[in-house]
Amino acid sequence: MRAFFRAFFAAALLTGGAAWSAPAAAQVQVSIRRLAPVEAIYVADLLPATADLRPDLLGITLIGHGESRPVVLELAVAREDPDPVEILRGTTDPFVVQEPVRHITSRDLAATGGDFALTSTDVNVDALTADGARGGRLPAGTYLFTVTLRTPDGAVLDSDELRLTLGVASRVDLLAPGAPADAGAPPSVPGPTPRFLWSADGDEAGARYRLRVVQVDGAASAVEAMQAGYPAWETVTPATSALYPASVQALRLEPGATYAWQVTRELGTSGGDEAVESPIYWFRVDGTGGAVAADAQFAALLRALGLSELEGFTPVGATLEDGRVLPLQALEELLAAIVAGEIALLSVRLR
């Protein structure tokens, strides 16, 4: 009996020692991050094609930890909001992460024949033909980009996620001053520093708008002046309003002269900047003050703020709660700043 226990104890020590000294299994890790701050992405940027034509949208880091087993990388793109739907899923052929740390980009996934190229892809074409999708561009919404490392037989080794909100800007609407250039004679506006107001769909943080003002007199039309005329003022702004500068930054608006203006939304896409142009408006500078045009501009501000029930009233100024009086010009500038999002409007009370 004593010999039996002595042999069992020795076997237990041998087994326990072997388990304790075995090295931990090596593991491969993956992470994903955003590289290019674009507002819109085309699904073709993630599909196998000529890599030289593809931008570096996503960065993927592989950490090998000395792992020598082959792995498969999988990329999935799904819209979370609105209307959740998977857009794309693609996988690579098996490869080995030879370096301790390896950095690749979405261009490597789209490089036909490369070590990390997606060789099997499934695209939800129906989702790309929905409203808002243009030329294979991902429709507006919030997207989840998931990158997963698997063994060749499908077991998950590691994964990471990246959430992006993408916009779709399809139009820019002008509010004031003036009226569409194809809708009759240009209305008069007070000079010499009118405030330009516009709105746009798909507005995103970091949006860029190019405002161009040209003199029409001497041109065959407002369209020709906008295409070939020398700008009296041109500027790029992230806001949806701009005050014509009374400085050397712009040519002085001449009383009695006619001017046209247009706003171009410069949408940053994965294929470069894409221009979304507004219609062309025009106006005539009234050297006498232009009370009628001032009323029209005030009405446009009210409509933009959802206060159209106040249209028809003639504004003369405003009184703040602390008793300070705002002249009409200051009131217009305040309303324009609210429309442009420069000042937050918490509530409206009419009395």
Domains in the chain, number: 2
- Same domain? For 157 and 229 the reply is no
Terminal alpha carbon distance of the chain = 103
| CATH assignment at residue 84 | 2.60.40.2550
Range of the domain at 247: 172-339
- Same domain? For 333 and 187 the reply is yes
- Same domain? For 182 and 326 the reply is yes
Is 237 within a domain?
yes
Domain's final residue, options 136, 166, 196: 166
- Same domain? For 154 and 176 the reply is no
- Same domain? For 249 and 218 the reply is yes
pLDDT digits (tens, 9 = 90+) for 112-124: 777 888 888 888 8
Domain's final residue, options 147, 166, 185: 166
Is 34 within a domain?
yes
pTM score of the predicted model: 0.57
- Same domain? For 69 and 203 the reply is no
| CATH assignment at residue 268 | 2.60.40.10
Whether the predicted pLDDT of 12 surpasses 70: no
Is 210 within a domain?
yes
Is 13 within a domain?
no
Domain's final residue, options 166, 199, 217: 166
Query: Which range, 98-107, 110-119, 244-253, is most confident?
Result: 98-107
- Same domain? For 102 and 214 the reply is no
pLDDT grade for 97, boundaries at 50, 70 and 90: confident
- Same domain? For 153 and 34 the reply is yes
Residue 147 burial (C-beta neighbours within 10 Å; 0-12, 13-18, 19+): buried
Say how far apart CA 208 and CA 211 lie, in whole Å.
10
Whether the predicted pLDDT of 163 surpasses 60: yes
Identify which has the larger pLDDT, 91 or 273. 91
Q: What are phi and psi of 243, to 5 degrees?
A: -95, 125
Among left, alpha and beta (phi > 0; psi -120 to 50; other), residue 125 is alpha
Say how far apart CA 87 and CA 174 lie, in whole Å.
34
Is 2 within a domain?
no
Q: What pLDDT is attached to residue 245?
A: 83
Whether the predicted pLDDT of 107 surpasses 70: yes
- Same domain? For 187 and 245 the reply is yes
- Same domain? For 179 and 306 the reply is yes
- Same domain? For 112 and 223 the reply is no
- Same domain? For 192 and 309 the reply is yes
